[in-house]
Amino acid sequence: MTRASRHYKVMLFTLYLFLIICFSLLAIKSDPFDPKPIYMGLGYMAIITIGFITMRIFALNGDAMLFMLSNFLCGIGLVMLYRVDENLAYRQFIWITGGIALFIVITFLFKYYGQVMSNYKLLAFFSLALLAVTIIFGKEHGGSTNWLKIGGIQFQPSEFVKILFCLASASFLKDHKEQKDVIIYTVFVLMVVMLLFIQKDLGMAIIFFLTGMVFVYTATGVVKYPAIGLAMLAIGGGASYFMFSHVRVRFEAWLNPWMDVPGKSYQIVQSLFAIGAGGLFGSGLGLGHPEYIPAVETDLIYSITVEEFGLLVGLAIIIIYLLIFVRAYLSAMASEKTAKQLLLTGISSMLAFQTFIIIGGVTKFIPLTGVTLPFISYGGSSILTSFCFLGIMNSLSIEEVQQQ
């Protein structure tokens, strides 16, 4: 414990040093010298310190690993956002502060999850209702009708539905494992996916479908179900390729981006150029060209990060994501309770699919669909949801240690 605490301190100071160097560079970059980024860096460091002390002292076994890893990702995201657009970074700063507060609250309060998960019908109803309301009153934003505006606050309901969906799935499947229950659950998943499809939010629809598959497999352990799921995904993908023009555009841009560089495949080509221009060690902070990349502050933030920090840091980001997910999976495997296993696997799979879809998308590994990169991309709903998931993970794994 004591030796681990020494390493924790080194991690914390490395993070401080990283943030200070980045924000000082940004301060020097603007001519004349502009102290605002340094203030922001110091503010963020203060928040990290408060959160770190809270986690180390009050979180029972002093486990601050998830907190440190997520804040490292948030730190890189904040630096990149400040470099791309100053005003977005101020708002992101507020969201991250709220997210960390939510993370700490959920870490301590989620042990009462029995009450939350007792009523799966209500949770399922709310997740469907929220999506239906979005279709009726939603605003179009970048091709998808997935924004809701209530009293001046814009948010993306599909992000919050992720939490409701995971809670509903885990609480339903924990004691419903027969074949007829799986069929009922599949109908629920397909309803969610269809509602997202109507909103033209393809990436999110795929994430929900794959997570549903993971939930069913974790609950039943029958290989038949994910096989059927994959077949359904292939049929659905094929059908939507012929039915919707925007799916076809995305798919053709993936097959051969060089056919229509200024038009259909502009995003993916700019992303590839940016990643290629960065090379192994990057062009240096502030020396890249984010102005050429569309949607650089949300979906394609990974490209500009790799361009300016280099491929090595890009790989490190993927390793950090992996550490978060593997940790949740191992904790789920060690657990005895079905509800907890389901929730941990489902949540981490959802975040993992999201990360895979967007990082794979910008590197042209799979067709590009617009979802946010958890913890790094700009977006209040995304940050809050990701921190909420992380809080649930932390709370459940802490509970696991306590019982031993």
What residues form DSSP beta bridges with 141?
144
Residue 277 as a binder of other proteins (CB under 8 A): the answer is no
- Given the complex with other proteins, which of 20 and 261 has the nearer CB atom? 20
What residues form DSSP beta bridges with 149?
154
Residue 21 as a binder of other proteins (CB under 8 A): the answer is yes
Q: Which residues of 324-338 are buried (b: 16+ CB within 10 A; e: fewer)?
A: bbebbeebbeebeee
Shortest distance in whole angstroms from residue 40 CB to other proteins: 17
**Long-range Cβ pairs for the range 353-358 (8 Å, 24+):** 353/206, 353/207, 353/210, 353/211, 354/203, 354/207, 355/321, 357/203, 357/206, 357/207, 358/203, 358/299, 358/302
Shortest distance in whole angstroms from residue 195 CB to other proteins: 35
Shortest distance in whole angstroms from residue 72 CB to other proteins: 6
Residue 49 as a binder of other proteins (CB under 8 A): the answer is no
Cα 104 to Cα 40, 41, 108, 145, 330: the distances in Å are: 22, 21, 7, 32, 22
Task: Tell me whether residue 1 is exposed, middle or buried, using C-beta atoms within 10 angstroms of its C-beta: 0 to 12, 13 to 18, 19 or more.
Answer: exposed
Residue 181 as a binder of other proteins (CB under 8 A): the answer is no
- The residue count for binding other proteins (CB under 8 A) is 52
What are the two backbone dihedrals, phi and then psi, of residue 295, each rounded to the nearest 5 degrees?
50, 40
Shortest distance in whole angstroms from residue 58 CB to other proteins: 8
CB atoms within 10 A of CB 184: 11
Give, in degrees to the nearest 5, the angle at Cα 187 between 140 and 136.
25
Residue 371 and residue 142: Cα distance in Å, rounded?
Answer: 12
Which part of the chain contacts other proteins (CB under 8 A), choosing from 196-204, 295-303, 361-369, 394-402? Answer: 394-402
E strand or H helix at 233: helix 224-243
Among the listed residues 38, 313, 337, 360, the single contact to other proteins using CB under 8 A: 313
Asked if 145 and 200 touch (Cβ cutoff 8 Å), the reply is: yes
Residue 29 as a binder of other proteins (CB under 8 A): the answer is yes
- Given the complex with other proteins, which of 16 and 254 has the nearer CB atom? 16
Among the listed residues 101, 130, 233, 334, the single contact to other proteins using CB under 8 A: 334
Shortest distance in whole angstroms from residue 59 CB to other proteins: 9
Which part of the chain contacts other proteins (CB under 8 A), choosing from 90-98, 213-221, 324-332, 381-389? Answer: 324-332
| DSSP 8-state symbol, 372 | P
Residue 282 and residue 291: Cα distance in Å, rounded?
Answer: 17
Residues 55-94, interacting with other proteins (CB under 8 A): 58, 60-63, 65, 68-69, 72
Residue 391 as a binder of other proteins (CB under 8 A): the answer is no
Shortest distance in whole angstroms from residue 392 CB to other proteins: 13
- Given the complex with other proteins, which of 25 and 272 has the nearer CB atom? 25
Which part of the chain contacts other proteins (CB under 8 A), choosing from 201-209, 224-232, 257-265, 282-290? Answer: 282-290
376 Cβ contact list (under 8 Å, min separation 6): 73, 74, 76, 77, 80, 301, 302, 305, 317
Among the listed residues 275, 286, 340, 342, the single contact to other proteins using CB under 8 A: 286
Which part of the chain contacts other proteins (CB under 8 A), choosing from 205-213, 245-253, 255-263, 316-324? Answer: 316-324
The binding site for other proteins (CB under 8 A) comprises 1-4, 7-8, 10-11, 14-15, 17-18, 21-22, 25, 28-29, 58, 60-63, 65, 68-69, 72, 281-287, 308-310, 312-313, 316, 319-320, 323, 326-327, 330-331, 334, 397-398, 400-401, 404
